[in-house]
């Protein structure tokens, strides 16, 4: 619906390992590949923000949760093509009217970890 807002919490898998084994230049390159995949795979009016060392927050207005999941699958395919063997984990939630930014990001982060646990090692 036009008033819906999906928030994606993205974590670059094993960035610390990349930094520790291949160096920070390789880690920076991986972060750039993730950012480029997000910017390319999402719509021009979606927002992509770096949130922490290996995390991004994306805001997708006017989209359903299933459609947002499809967009994220496309982003993951773009990343796999650009950086073979590198992955990102993503949590997706629909923003609730009474929620503040910290609450919606916390729920998206919890969804990410639940999906990561369900996927296994």
Please give the positions annotated as active site. Answer: 54
Strand ranges of the sheet holding 55-61, from the earlier edge strand across to the other edge: 47-50, 55-61, 5-12, 88-94
105-121 per-residue burial string, b: 16 or more CB within 10 A, e: under 16: bebbbebbeeeeeeeee
């Amino acid at each position: 619906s036009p008033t819906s807002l999906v928030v994606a919490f993205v974590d670059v898998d094993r960035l610390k390992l990349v930094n520790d084994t291949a160096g920070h230049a390789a880690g920076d390159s991986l972060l750039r590949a993730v950012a480029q995949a997000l910017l390319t795979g999402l719509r021009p009016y979606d927002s992509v923000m770096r949130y922490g060392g290996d995390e991004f927050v994306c805001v997708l207005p006017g989209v359903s949760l299933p459609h947002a999941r499809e967009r994220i699958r496309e982003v993951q395919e773009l990343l796999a093509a650009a950086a073979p063997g590198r992955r990102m984990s993503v949590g997706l939630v629909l923003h609730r009217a009474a929620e503040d930014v910290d609450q919606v990001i916390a729920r998206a982060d919890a969804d990410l970890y639940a999906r990561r646990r369900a996927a296994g090692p």
